[in-house]
Structure 1
Amino acid sequence: MDKRILKRFFKDRSLLISFYLFNMASVITFFHLSEPANTEILYPFSVGIFLLIVYLLIDGSRYYQVNGAIENQHAEFKIYTEEQRAFYKWIKKLNHEHTREKNEQNEKNKERLYFLSHWMHHLKTPVSVTDLIIQNEKKLQGDREVFQKLQHENKRLHSAIEQGLTMIRMDSFENDLDIKTMNLISTLRKLINNRKSEFIYQSAFPVLDSEEEAAFIITDQKWNETMLDQIISNAIKYCSGKDGSKKIRFHVKQEEEVTILSITDEGVGIPSYDLERVLEAFFTGENGRDYQNSSGIGLYLCKRIADRLNHRITIESEVSKGTTVTIRYLTKM
């Protein structure tokens, strides 16, 4: 019998045992006083203790079965007393009500997420149209700085919408997963090219460094691109320079069973006292006070995606020198 359950059993039965012993002592004393010639005490005391032990063994066995099942979180167990039956019915009733309320809340949350998702998808349409208008005006009136700024802000709005949709999709992550082998180098080139105008606008220059033309990793393409795109977006945002003086380096290193990607910017860096918390949700830290568009969501989503895909993400940084985000990918199952 588990020592904790045994201890609780004797604690619960202490009053009963005390009254039994007191009652037995009272009866023996009464018969001894009634017949002073009768000096037999040991025999009735032994019989009484024996019967008490038998009772405690039977009751303890039942007690252990019920409390052991509760401790091990077993849903079903044998009921021996009316008290246990009453508690069991009460717990079943509470569990039923809790399950009903939980299901109702889940349905409400699904409905909210459904409408929120559709609303955010509708927001993408005017953003895309705005981008097309800006591009047409740039062709007609020339590549003016004002159009560059409008396009930059429009892309920020598009990124924020995509970030919100990613948060919504995280709840059904496993239903939208396709793990396979893919080329990390081609993915990086695609993502860098997609943000070419932002690199130019922020005067940051991307450098892709790899000894091999291809580096194959095991991941989900869509979720991995979402994670990398967020890291690249952060690197550009915090790495603005003049005349392309700031570089963002993408270093790919292949080892026997892993491929290591390091994305290093030459930006503002992260203070050491903030570094441990940058992967927490909504944490912006010191940089969040200087960069008002910091949400504290991006790196949190990257950490969640990396954990779900069985990748390891780490961050190193030094103030005024830059930040390095490292991701370790498996190359073999």
Structure 2
Amino acid sequence: MKLTDYLKDRLTAYLIYGISWLLVQIFMAAFRISFQAIVIVSLILLLSIIFAEVWGYFRKKSYYDKLLHCLDELDKKYLLSEMTENPDFLDGRILYEVMQETNKSMCEHIAGHRRENKEFREYIELWVHEIKLPVASVQLMCHNDGNTKYAEQLKRIDNYIENVLYYARSRNAEKDYIIKPVSLKRAFADIAVKNREELQERNITLHTEDLDMDVMTDGKWLGFILGQIMGNSMKYEASEITVTAEGFPDKTVLHFRDNGCGIPEHDMPYIFEKSFTGENGRTHRKSTGMGLYIVKKLCDKLGHSVAAKSVQREFTEIIITFGKNDIHDVR
């Protein structure tokens, strides 16, 4: 709190003091009080006002400077009321009580939204599990009847359902993950088997190299991530997919590369943003712009990093980096 700001705020009070002092002078002169007495009384009043103002200024300055410092230092500004002490002057105590009440109201409001969000997420997860049963049944019937036309559409529905499930789970990752060593070779093989029929229909060739290593991650989430990346490769006209891994002392880097249509350079900064489809998305109507967004979200929650490289009409490469022996906070 600056002294000039404090003085400006107190101008009205000083004007009242000045008028009062002038009236006192007139009153004492009317009663023929000696000049020396008038000077002494004036000095006493002036010194009293100066002392009171200086004391009040420094008392409030200490409190408000600390308050503003805490506000600047805090990343989460709404915690300010928790870091503030109850001051010893009236307007500060009023401010403190107001902050405490607003903080309490905010906490209750947030708690209500969290309950609603939790209930909605639980409903979505239940709905996903329920809807997957009839979808799987119809897929089996189509497979038995040899009806590939409907089977392809059902697979798309199943993929969209998976997206909904993992998007909902990614918002509360700490309740649905198990970090343990996972074989990259096994994880990729499971995804390849799951997509075998579509890979064969599209005549896509798979190449793998140096996948005989484990990474610290959640196997189920990694499977979804690899499935999304492979789905994009199939969607965007790839005829060859190459997956390789590099081991370093402090990390493992997985490279997922295809020779599809590639991503335009001007779209590259936005491919991990929510609902971004870009130029390829407008060409391929099946694109929702959510796949890579969810991949990025899950990688962030698990403590992995994900990046992409691409040259249009040549290749697209997704790079996932797994740390070694790291404990990640996914909250």
Asked if Structure 1 and Structure 2 have the same fold, meaning a TM-score greater than 0.5 normalized by the shorter chain, the answer is: yes
Deviation by residue 1:13-66 (Cα, 9 ceiling, x = unmatched)? 343245435655775688789989948998777655533332123322442355
Indicate if the aligned counterparts of 1:258 and 1:330 stay in contact, CA closer than 8 A: yes
1:256 match: secondary structure: coil
**Equivalent residue, structure 1, for 2:220:** 222
1:263 match: secondary structure: strand
1:276 match: secondary structure: helix
**Equivalent residue, structure 2, for 1:143:** none
The alpha-carbon deviation at position 105 of structure 1 amounts to: 3.1
Which of 102, 118, 131 in structure 2 is aligned with 1:123? 131
2:325 match: secondary structure: coil
Is the counterpart of residue 52 in structure 1 residue 59 in structure 2?
no
User: Which amino acid is 1:52 matched to?
Assistant: I
Is the counterpart of residue 106 in structure 1 residue 114 in structure 2?
yes
The alpha-carbon deviation at position 175 of structure 1 amounts to: 1.3
**Equivalent residue, structure 1, for 2:310:** 317
Which of 316, 322, 325 in structure 2 is aligned with 1:329? 322
Deviates more, 1:125-134 or 1:51-60: 51-60
**Cα distance in structure 1, aligned partners of 2:18 and 2:183:** 80
Using structure 1 for the length normalisation, give the TM-score: 0.82
2:206 match: secondary structure: strand
**Equivalent residue, structure 1, for 2:268:** 275
**Cα distance in structure 2, aligned partners of 1:83 and 1:331:** 54
The alpha-carbon deviation at position 69 of structure 1 amounts to: 5.9
The alpha-carbon deviation at position 151 of structure 1 amounts to: 2.1
The alpha-carbon deviation at position 279 of structure 1 amounts to: 0.6
User: Which amino acid is 2:285 matched to?
Assistant: Q
User: Which amino acid is 1:180 matched to?
Assistant: K
Deviates more, 1:197-206 or 1:295-304: 197-206
Deviates more, 1:250-259 or 1:74-83: 74-83
Indicate if the aligned counterparts of 1:9 and 1:63 stay in contact, CA closer than 8 A: no
Alpha carbons of 1:43 and 1:327: their partners in 2 closer, same or farther (altered >3 Å)?
farther
1:118 match: secondary structure: helix
Instruction: Name structure 1 gaps, 5 residues minimum.
Output: 139-146, 241-245
Using structure 2 for the length normalisation, give the TM-score: 0.82
**Equivalent residue, structure 2, for 1:251:** 244
Alpha carbons of 1:46 and 1:130: their partners in 2 closer, same or farther (altered >3 Å)?
same
**Cα distance in structure 1, aligned partners of 2:235 and 2:244:** 19
Instruction: Name structure 2 gaps, 5 residues minimum.
Output: 71-79, 327-331
Indicate if the aligned counterparts of 2:187 and 2:222 stay in contact, CA closer than 8 A: no
User: Which amino acid is 1:164 matched to?
Assistant: V
Is the counterpart of residue 209 in structure 1 residue 209 in structure 2?
yes
Alpha carbons of 1:124 and 1:280: their partners in 2 closer, same or farther (altered >3 Å)?
same
**Equivalent residue, structure 1, for 2:75:** none
Indicate if the aligned counterparts of 2:86 and 2:93 stay in contact, CA closer than 8 A: no
Indicate if the aligned counterparts of 2:259 and 2:316 stay in contact, CA closer than 8 A: yes
Alpha carbons of 1:6 and 1:200: their partners in 2 closer, same or farther (altered >3 Å)?
farther
The alpha-carbon deviation at position 117 of structure 1 amounts to: 2.4
1:74 match: secondary structure: helix
User: Which amino acid is 1:217 matched to?
Assistant: V
Alpha carbons of 1:45 and 1:185: their partners in 2 closer, same or farther (altered >3 Å)?
farther
CA RMSD of aligned residues (A): 3.0
**Equivalent residue, structure 2, for 1:296:** 289
